[in-house]
Structure 1
């Protein structure tokens, strides 16, 4: 069976990486810890590793509800603990009376250190508190290098994972049917707008799927895809439930409130 036929062509490189990780664990009897993964990447790993084999996979991002998580692929005889995911939580200390720090600024500053997006997890902002998660293997580097967010001086404080801010994302679960899994069709159903309007938003670069701008209305969506539309918030595909008697595709999705 050709495993690639179940995924998108652009995901082939990541699939090859997952297969290499799986082979490593099978041959070395040692666990493999990945960088932080988005929900779609997590779904790909779940599909490839599967269930019932001698190789297992677990995910953790610092708090159970975190979106970006590290995967631990391991032999089934191991007992996995949260410490095995090697995650450090930082809180940013800054002059809250004079400065406002927003998510894009933190993301840009971390990327500006030369880090790939997979090296750090969720960025959580609640009122004037700002936290983010990283792999412990780069925590010393970040502590030394991240001294400014934009033009504002900051300092970093290491805190236990148990003191992480709770993410108050609220999702409304909905069930709907669509004629296809095309991006414009999914958007039309979830946002209650016409397909023509959906296509206009997509071609204007206002739509991201899994944090990547997609400008092709015919892009096929799949389970665990996160769809972000500027001005409409985020939606995610939770599951695909098969076809109705009228050959429509039934999906379960979540819309961020």
Structure 2
């Protein structure tokens, strides 16, 4: 299948088409020059779309690796591997760099403050990975082409003076994820039924939310309330939240299925 047909099948919008076209460009670079080639950072939704595209293109899962700087990173790159490189060797060729920006604790900078500062310097979002903001410092993952610029030039965010240094991936300070576990029973494993539990709302409201196009299953938009979920599926809704189906248990005497969802708080 040629590039145009692949994009016609995989892209749902003009913006997504541009992102996926750049993914194919990196794939072609790795294949034609037999060198490792990395995409920019992709959001979970963009990465899910890219993986659909790559399956359509016949690209196997051993031909690329997803990297975000740490386990559980949301924003990640795809590194396409030449035929002489395996996944273990790819880790040594990672184009990611980790930085720490320190500031006085009274400024208590948040994600929005730090991202705004970076974008004000001309660093676009696709060049930065997760931003891990803390009370006195922020760790962030960037592409190696951006790291040196930030080390030399990023000295302020709002009124806060910054001291920026390079750190290793092992030194990243990853905030502990906060979540609550919810146990319930449902009549079926339909998306609307489980979303009602996961988002603490009536099933009818959950169905309307899904049909409005605001819900994603495993980072892909889903507008079908009757879609069946499985263990490990992640459901998110813009402006509402996110949860993961962690367990599907047995059936009660009343014919309801027990479930456990982990909801981010």
TM-score by length of 2: 0.69
2: CA distance, partners of 1:101 / 1:237 = 33
User: Is 1:84–2:84 an aligned residue pair?
Assistant: no
User: Is 1:35–2:40 an aligned residue pair?
Assistant: yes
Q: Is the 8 A contact 2:216 2:237 kept in 1?
A: no
Structure number, greater radius of gyration: 2
Residue range with higher mean Cα deviation, 50-59 or 63-72:
50-59
Partner of 1:247: none
Partner of 1:14: 19
> What's the RMSD between the two structures over aligned residues?
3.7
CA deviation after TM superposition for structure 1 residue 110, in Å: 0.7
Partner of 2:74: 67
Q: Is the 8 A contact 1:22 1:49 kept in 2?
A: no
User: Is 1:224–2:231 an aligned residue pair?
Assistant: no
CA deviation after TM superposition for structure 1 residue 38, in Å: 1.2
Larger helix share, 1 or 2: 2
Q: Cα distance 1:13–1:83, how it changes in 2: closer, same or farther (>3 A)?
A: same
Q: Is the 8 A contact 1:90 1:156 kept in 2?
A: yes
Deviations 1:90-134 (A, max 9, x none): 1122222x3211111011111111111011111112443321111
Specify every segment of 5 or more residues in structure 1 that has no aligned partner in the other structure, as ranges: 203-215, 239-251
Q: Is the 8 A contact 2:66 2:78 kept in 1?
A: yes
Partner of 2:142: 134
User: Is 1:58–2:69 an aligned residue pair?
Assistant: no
Structure 1 counterpart SS, 2:98: strand
Structure 1 counterpart SS, 2:100: strand
Match of 1:113 among 95, 114, 121: 121
CA deviation after TM superposition for structure 1 residue 15, in Å: 2.3
1: CA distance, partners of 2:52 / 2:36 = 18
1: CA distance, partners of 2:96 / 2:153 = 18
Partner of 1:25: 30
Q: Is the 8 A contact 1:33 1:72 kept in 2?
A: yes
Q: Cα distance 1:199–1:145, how it changes in 2: closer, same or farther (>3 A)?
A: farther
Structure 1 counterpart SS, 2:140: strand
Structure 1 counterpart SS, 2:141: strand
Specify every segment of 5 or more residues in structure 2 that has no aligned partner in the other structure, as ranges: 221-234, 247-259
Q: Is the 8 A contact 2:31 2:82 kept in 1?
A: yes
Larger strand share, 1 or 2: 1
CA deviation after TM superposition for structure 1 residue 18, in Å: 2.1
2: CA distance, partners of 1:195 / 1:153 = 49
Match of 1:122 among 130, 133, 152: 130
CA deviation after TM superposition for structure 1 residue 32, in Å: 0.9
What is the total number of aligned residue pairs between the two structures? 226
User: Is 1:5–2:5 an aligned residue pair?
Assistant: no
TM-score by length of 1: 0.71
Structure 2 counterpart SS, 1:123: strand
CA deviation after TM superposition for structure 1 residue 62, in Å: 1.3
